[in-house]
Amino acid sequence: AVYAKGFEAVCGFVSSDFSAKVIDVLADNGVKIILLRCAGFNNVDIKRAKERGVLVMRVPGYSPEAVAEHAMALALASNRHIHKGYIKVRENNFSLVGLTGLNFFKKTAGIIGTGKIGAAMCRICKGFGMRVIAYDIYQNPDLDFVEYVDLDTLLAESDLISLHCPVNR
């Protein structure tokens, strides 16, 4: 935060610390705006920024497809135990024991939150041949292939559960 002295704006990402303490230092050093190059802002103390007169701006449409693709990549890696396979190969162990996952085809994907990112994840799951069910207090009319269910049903019936909802609510 001290490196921002003399500048009216700072740019951050989802991993940047914009706690009340940091915002105080930024404001004391003349920063008037925090620009986030991401959609999420759960790392920002919005209340403190407002109190200190620091404007916070973000990119709400920050590549929902890229975020959903990353979520699917993590799901695939976890399902197929890629991390364990990497460690085995690094140790010259080429055994497949413990590395078998399951096919996503014809399985059920439960998506919690069907905004831009969740909708992209729904489309990806559909592309994998999955049944897609979702829970959201606001149903997305563009997702005519998605079956909206209550949260308990989603948790009970899903083989894959993917969360795509704001962390700060």
**Interval 131-150: pLDDT, tens:** 999 999 999 999 999 999 99
**What percentage of residues in the chain have a pLDDT greater than 70?**
98
Confidence class for position 98, pLDDT limits 50, 70, 90? confident
pLDDT of 120 strictly over 70: yes
- What pLDDT is attached to residue 42? 86
Confidence class for position 168, pLDDT limits 50, 70, 90? low
Type of residue found at 157? E
Confidence class for position 86, pLDDT limits 50, 70, 90? very high
Type of residue found at 126? K
Q: Which of 76, 35, 80, 79 lies closest to 54, judged by CA?
A: 35
Domains 7-57 and 64-163 belong to one CATH topology: yes
Q: Are 84 and 99 in contact (CB under 8 A)?
A: yes
Confidence class for position 1, pLDDT limits 50, 70, 90? low
Beta bridge partners of 168: none
Type of residue found at 149? V
Average pLDDT over residues 23-30: 95
CA separation (Å) from 131 to 43, 50, 126? 34, 43, 7
Per the CATH hierarchy, to which homologous superfamily does domain 7-57 belong? NAD(P)-binding Rossmann-like Domain (3.40.50.720)
Confidence class for position 62, pLDDT limits 50, 70, 90? confident
Rg (CA), the chain: 21
Question: Is the dihedral angle over the CA atoms 154, 122, 40, 12 positive or is it negative?
Answer: positive
pLDDT of 38 strictly over 90: no
The 10 Å Cβ neighbour count of residue 10 is 20
Type of residue found at 77? A
- Show me where the domains of the chain are located: 7-57, 64-163
Q: Which top CATH class is 64-163? A: alpha beta
Q: Provide the mean pLDDT of the chain.
A: 94
